[in-house]
Amino acid sequence: MADDPYHFYARRIDNARNMARYYMLSIQPTLFGEIVLMRCWGRIGKRGGEKSEVFASEQEAAAHFLKLARRKHQKGYKPVGNCGKAGKQALSDS
């Protein structure tokens, strides 16, 4: 697994349409050495849906991760915060 984990968290908020959604992606290893792409989505503040997909390699999972992240960006989702090592470092400095 790469040193920099794959994490994506984005929101789409449109008050005129009463829309407040989130979408999260992450790539994680399993206990059996497989690579899983986790997806979570739903209305902000509510329990949403969840789906996991198993991939044979990290490269395949990363390609699918980027495809999904691009698709959500095109639909108007905006990334929120800072994920990964830089985010962890900022929290530890506080």
- Asked whether 37 and 65 are in contact (CB, 8 A), the reply is yes
Residue 32 DSSP class: T
Residue with the two structure tokens 């206990």: 31
pLDDT at 81: 73
Q: What is the pLDDT along the chain (94 residues), one digit of tens a residue?
A: 555 578 999 999 999 999 999 999 999 999 988 999 999 999 999 999 999 999 999 999 999 999 999 999 999 999 997 554 444 443 333 3
Please provide the size of the chain in residues. 94
pLDDT at 3: 53
One-letter amino acid of 15: N
Give me the CATH code for the 7-93 domain, please: 2.20.140.10
pLDDT at 87: 40
* Cα 34 from Cα 56, distance rounded (Å): 7
Q: How far is CA 70 from the centre of its chain?
A: 11
pLDDT at 33: 87
DSSP percent split of the chain into helix, strand, coil, nearest 5: 30, 40, 30
* Cα 45 from Cα 37, distance rounded (Å): 23
pLDDT at 83: 52
Domain boundaries, the chain: 7-93
